[in-house]
Every structure is written in C-alpha cells, then in structure tokens.
Amino acid sequence: MLTYTTLKDRPREFLAATGLTHAEFMQLLPAFAAAYTTCYPADKTWHGKVRQRKLGGGAKGLLAQLEDKLLFILVYQKTNPLQTMHGLHFGLSQPQTHYWIHRLLPVLRRALGTLDMAPERDASRVATSPLMLEGAPAGALDGTERRRQRPTDAAQQTAHSSGKKKAHTDKNVLLINAYTRKVVYLSPTVAGKTHDKKAADEAALVYPVNSTLDKDTGFQGYEPAGVLTQQPKKSPEARS
C-alpha cells in the first residue's frame, strides 16, 4: 500500500509517482495544509454543517495525515489511473477513492494558486503571465492525451477515438516555459480525435511579443503573429 512514510526515502519512486521531488513536495505541503483548512474548517463537518462533537472523533481514515492526502491526489494527477486501481494502491474502495478525489482536487488547485504555480486557463492572459515571463518569453507547445471511458453514444465514440493512442481519449494543449519547465497554460479539454493544431487555433493563445515557441509536427502551419516558431526536422540520414 502506498503511503508517504514508505515512499519518502525512495527518491526515484517518489518522483515517478508524484512528478515532484521530495523537496518540492515539502514546499507544497504547507500551502496544501492551509488550503485544506480554508476549504474544510475544523469547526464544520465534512458536509459543511456545524460540528456537534470534538474534532477527531469516530473512525480514523487511511488518509488521516495531510502528507498522505497530498500524496494521494498527486499520484492520481500524475498517473491518471482508473479509480478502482488508484484505490487499490491506497487501500480504499472505489466509492471512497471517488470521494477523496473530488474532496482534494479543489484543495490542490487552491494551494497551487497560492504559490502562483497554477497554470493559466484564460488564453488571453498568457502574454502577461509571470509563469510565461519567468526567465525569458520562450515556450514549448504540445498536445497531451489521456485515456477515458468508452462513450456509449456512437458519435462521441468517433469523436474521442484516437488513432495515435488506439483508444478513446481526451486531449489538452499545454504551453510550457522552455527555461523553467513550468506549465504556463492548460487548454480546455477537447475530444481526442481533435488535431493538435486545431485545438491550438481554437484556444486562441496570446503570446508575449518577440517570444519564441518550440512545436512539433502536430502543429505544422501554426504560426502565431509576432512569435518565432521552431519545429524540428528529420535529418536526411533518418529519412533514408
């Protein structure tokens, strides 16, 4: 079973599971603790009602410690498993896993926002985002897909069917600061069949003037005004 105690002294596994080093995890933990207290005050029950008995009464859950709560939601965000599989890793049932995911996601978002680490969701604000301007106005654009449950509707099945992944997927476009490697912008979720360039066009990103942008062949023809784009090309040896 995954716990913070069993994983904290295994740096490679910790990074693979959470996407953070242990030092980065510890930097995030105080903001996560403060956000948890804000979202769920100690004088209220889990359902938001005034508490009738002292805090700490009743059965103790498997995610009793804040470190385990943060580990739980980071692993979910990093690996995107089925809820049943995620629950098996933490000793929880699927309904319990569903509950904790929806309870902790708002806390993580608030914590990242407090640390100015939350990616922009408004494309028009990218040009002035501190995350984009940190270091230099240089970004890298990429499309990312994640598996989803197969839709029951035939039209949705077609829209979400990804030939690249050989599965039904959802897609987002990510803009990353090329120097800091921090995620600057996360686009709205679109169907997995949507082409990367089309998703970027629909996002209507506004870049800083004279910025540079690395992109792959999925964004062939994507040339925002005032931006110097760079796209890798295969060498003659690789083609032959």
pLDDT tens-place values along the chain, 240 residues long: 899 999 999 999 999 999 999 999 999 999 999 999 998 887 776 667 777 766 666 566 788 899 999 999 999 999 888 899 999 999 999 999 999 999 999 999 999 989 888 899 999 999 999 999 988 889 999 998 888 888 888 888 888 888 777 888 899 999 999 988 889 999 999 988 899 999 999 999 999 988 999 999 889 999 998 899 988 876 666 555
Q: Residue 185: what pLDDT?
A: 94
Distance between CA atoms of residues 78 and 101, nearest Å: 13
Q: How far is CA 180 from CA 9, 44, 137, 169, in A?
A: 26, 40, 11, 28
Distance between CA atoms of residues 228 and 225, nearest Å: 9
Residues 140 and 173 in one domain: yes
Q: Residue 239: what pLDDT?
A: 55
The CA angle 176-232-211, to the nearest 5 degrees, is 45
Task: Please tell me the total count of domains within the chain.
Answer: 2
Which of the listed residues 89, 114, 139 is the one where a domain comes to its end? 114
Distance between CA atoms of residues 141 and 183, nearest Å: 10
Which residues, 6 or more positions from 7, have their beta carbon under 8 angstroms from its beta carbon?
Answer: 13, 14, 17, 71
CB 73 within 8 A of CB 108: yes
Distance between CA atoms of residues 76 and 53, nearest Å: 32
Q: Is residue 55 part of a domain?
A: no
Tell me the two tokens of residue 172: 């987002």
Tell me the two tokens of residue 156: 């949705």
Residues 105 and 131 in one domain: no
The residue count of the chain comes to 240
Q: Residue 103: what pLDDT?
A: 93
Q: Residue 236: what pLDDT?
A: 66
Q: Residue 106: what pLDDT?
A: 94
Residues facing residue 230 across a β-bridge:
214
Distance between CA atoms of residues 38 and 25, nearest Å: 20
Which of the listed residues 95, 114, 133 is the one where a domain comes to its end? 114
Q: Is residue 56 part of a domain?
A: no
Which domain, by its residues, includes 128? Answer: 123-239
Whose tokens are 């029951």? That residue is 152
Q: How big is the chain by its Cα radius of gyration, in Å?
A: 21
Q: Is residue 44 part of a domain?
A: yes
Distance between CA atoms of residues 180 and 123, nearest Å: 19
Residues 29 and 90 in one domain: yes
Q: Is residue 183 part of a domain?
A: yes
Q: Residue 172: what pLDDT?
A: 92
Q: Residue 126: what pLDDT?
A: 92
